[in-house]
Amino acid sequence: MKVVVIGAGYAGTIAANRLVKKADAEVTVVNPRADFVERVRLHEHIAGSGTALTPLTDMLDPRIRLVVGAVDKIGDGTLLLADGTSLPFDRAIYAAGGAPTAPSGTYVVGAIETAELARQALADLPDGAAVTVVGGGLTGIETAAEVAESRPALRVRLISEGEVGASLGPGARARVRRDLDRLGVVVERGRYTEDDGAGLVLWAVATQVSDLAARSGLAVDDAGRVLVDEYLRSTSDPRIVAVGDGASVPGQRLSCQTALPQGAHGADNLARELAGEPMKAYSMGYTGQNVSIGRRSAVIQAARRDDSPTRIQFGGRSAALVKEQVCRMAKGAAKTARYAWLPAPR
Ligand SMILES: Cc1cc2nc3c(=O)[nH]c(=O)nc-3n(C[C@H](O)[C@H](O)[C@H](O)COP(=O)(O)OP(=O)(O)OC[C@H]3O[C@@H](n4cnc5c(N)ncnc54)[C@H](O)[C@@H]3O)c2cc1C
């Protein structure tokens, strides 16, 4: 059986690696570049404190064929690639993930192409220049802190329409604010305007996903995520399993904590199908959130399985070590295909 995996992020990479381990399938991965992008490290990539890139040949099982290219359209059992070639499939795993956009003149944090440009633009900024980070979610917090820590002579401002760190509990939120203060990040409530005046604007609002599914005619939700059944199969084409940021799974948050179990479960279900066994319904419960505050601090927020924050949270250097381990574990899970998770709450 020919299986193509569209996108080699966290969801697609774990799915492909897990499938070749569990089933006798011919697996091909299509991805626009030959690197695995650790999106959770893009703020480090921008600040120059780390890299988000690992060659995909180091991530994918040698039995997997890698095609470097972009899928332009998903047809009836065929993928049409941007270079005009096509790839037939019996089953496909849709893992095209996030595709954040931003107003002109600003740099998207959540995409490697713009993160690389932002890294250069930041390196070129003279001391004393102003940097604005737009978005008070975890990505915005991590980006503002990382830039402020690596370039203390810059003036860093974090601007957010809503409360900064709104997904965290009050204790963790207060901790984040103290850490940002310590790094000299000025936090403002408000909306970004073009006359912002900063030397560099980093756009850390990353909710948009690839429009590939919508433009291919698959059934999608308002945001363009593939509508799936309880087995993670597209409701309009059951040959396609959708996983990660690009899948519309009720109650799920865009994260690798979501992408990894979905990728693993999607692959397991295809392996079951190939073995003539019934598929299993997808179920997943959360454990918490973690946000880096530069390289030396972080905030860890424990959560109930429904993703609501508990009162348990901690920060500082020990939290930074935990956060680093979580990032390594996420990449390691994608590579080894070994991952265990909690079921959803009843
Ligand atoms: C700075 C930052 C920090 C983050 N921190 C955390 C964190 O601490 N914890 C956490 O859980 N989550 C975090 N996230 C969110 C997390 O990174 C995403 O939710 C996760 O990457 C989703 O994985 P995915 O595999 O679904 O999609 P992606 O990682 O977006 O991968 C999608 C892949 O598909 C490819 N693709 C796209 N279009 C096509 C096409 N047409 N044809 C072929 N391939 C295509 C892309 O190039 C990419 O390789 C963070 C995100 C950012 C930006």
| DSSP one-letter string for 284-326 | -B--EEEEEETTTEEEEEEE-TTS-EEEEEEEHHHHHHHHHHH
Q: Tell me how far apart the alpha carbons of residues 274 and 340 are, in angstroms, rounded to a whole number.
A: 22
Among 4, 40, 300, which residue has the most ligand 1 atoms within 8 Å of its CB, making it the best to mutate? 40
Read off the pLDDT of each residue in 15-41 and give the average, rounded to a whole number.
Answer: 98
- In the DSSP assignment, the letter for residue 207 is -
CA distances from 36 to 32, 54, 315, 336, 342 (A): 10, 5, 29, 14, 26
Q: Tell me how far apart the alpha carbons of residues 171 and 322 are, in angstroms, rounded to a whole number.
A: 18
Q: Ligand 1 site: residues with CB under 6 angstroms?
A: 6-12, 30-32, 37, 39-40, 42-43, 70-71, 95-98, 109-110, 139, 142, 206, 210, 212, 244-245, 254-257, 259, 290
* Residue with CA nearest ligand 1 atom 39: 96
Reported as a single tens digit per residue, the pLDDT across 40-79 is 999 999 999 999 999 999 999 999 999 999 999 999 999 9
Calculate what percentage of the chain has a pLDDT beyond 90: 97
Reported as a single tens digit per residue, the pLDDT across 215-261 is 999 999 999 999 999 999 999 999 999 999 999 999 899 999 999 99
Q: Give the type of residue at 74.
A: I
- 245: CA distance to ligand 1 center in Å? 7
Reported as a single tens digit per residue, the pLDDT across 126-184 is 999 999 999 999 999 999 999 999 999 999 999 999 999 999 999 999 999 999 999 99
Read off the pLDDT of each residue in 102-110 and give the average, rounded to a whole number.
Answer: 95
* Residue with CA nearest ligand 1 atom 4: 40
pLDDT beyond 90 at 207:
no
Q: Which pLDDT score, from 0 to 100, does residue 165 have?
A: 97
Locate the ligand 1 atom nearest the alpha carbon of residue 96 and give its number. 34
Q: Among the CATH numbers 3.40.50.1220, 3.10.20.90, 2.30.40.10, 3.50.50.60, which is that of 2-32+69-99+208-284?
A: 3.50.50.60
* Residue with CA nearest ligand 1 atom 26: 244
- In the DSSP assignment, the letter for residue 233 is B
pLDDT beyond 80 at 276:
yes
Q: Which pLDDT score, from 0 to 100, does residue 286 have?
A: 97
Rounded to two decimals, the pTM is 0.97
Read off the pLDDT of each residue in 269-280 and give the average, rounded to a whole number.
Answer: 98
Length of the chain: 346
How high is the mean pLDDT of the chain?
97
The phi, psi pair for 230, rounded to 5°, reads -65, -15
Q: Residue 169 has which token pair?
A: 């509990």
Q: Tell me how far apart the alpha carbons of residues 270 and 23 are, in angstroms, rounded to a whole number.
A: 8
Decide: 284 and 257 in contact? Cβ < 8 Å. no
- In the DSSP assignment, the letter for residue 228 is B
Reported as a single tens digit per residue, the pLDDT across 290-322 is 999 999 999 999 999 999 999 999 999 999 999
Locate the ligand 1 atom nearest the alpha carbon of residue 97 and give its number. 27
pLDDT beyond 80 at 206:
no
Q: Which pLDDT score, from 0 to 100, does residue 346 have?
A: 86
Locate the ligand 1 atom nearest the alpha carbon of residue 43 and give its number. 1
- Nearest by Cα to 198 from 114, 264, 130, 257: 130
Q: Any alpha helices (H) in the chain, and if so which ranges? A: 10-22, 42-47, 112-124, 138-150, 170-182, 212-215, 256-274, 316-336
* Domain boundaries defined on the chain: 2-32+69-99+208-284
